[in-house]
Amino acid sequence: MSPNYGPRPGEATVDLIVLHSISLPPGQYGGDEVQRLFTNQLDWDQHPYFKSIRGMEVSAHFYIRRNGDLLQFVSVNDRAWHAGTSAYRGRSNCNDDSIGIELEGLEGECFEGGQYETLAALCAAILQSHPVAHIAGHEHVAPGRKTDPGTGFNWSFLQQSLGLAARFFPAEVLP
């Protein structure tokens, strides 16, 4: 579990899933650096890139490895610290009413089949337990500041896997 979370505001309705991508160091996969970042145990001196993120306290509800393995860091009932300064569907502060899912990857690069399978199953389970009306990328809730999951993410595949109408997704991601 991550210590980087807090309570949701009392009036919050979880109706948004925010998809992210992350790898530490960028473009390197398979290590435990992301887990250590989310649990405040990352050795900032282990890699030169880590100096640029030193002291960050971030988390996500879920993390999906390249091989499809799923890890949970924060309860969906709590507010994970994943979106930062954000706004979507006429509301600011997306952390208040969203579930954040990190995919091991790099924005603009492709993701693996096992990740999509796990993501689709996870989103389907979330849709059963929460009134989700929107699924967006970090790039959509923090435009100009974030670019993940990026052009390598296959939104059409996720839409088809979930059997959801286009209205659930940002207009620009579906043909």
Low-confidence ranges of the chain (pLDDT < 50): none
* Proportion of the chain above pLDDT 90, given as a percent: 97
pLDDT score, position 63: 98
Contact 103, 111 (CB under 8 A): yes
Contact 16, 88 (CB under 8 A): yes
- Residue-wise pLDDT for 39-66, tens only, equals 999 999 999 999 999 999 999 999 999 9
CA 71 from chain center: how many Å?
A: 12
Q: Which of 11, 33, 57, 102 is catalytic?
A: 102
Q: Which fold has domain 5-170?
A: Lysozyme-like (3.40.80)
Q: Known catalytic residue: 104?
A: no
| Helical H segments across 29-154, by residue range | 33-38, 113-129, 138-141
Handedness of CA 155, 160, 162, 166 (dihedral sign): positive
pLDDT score, position 174: 87
pLDDT score, position 14: 96
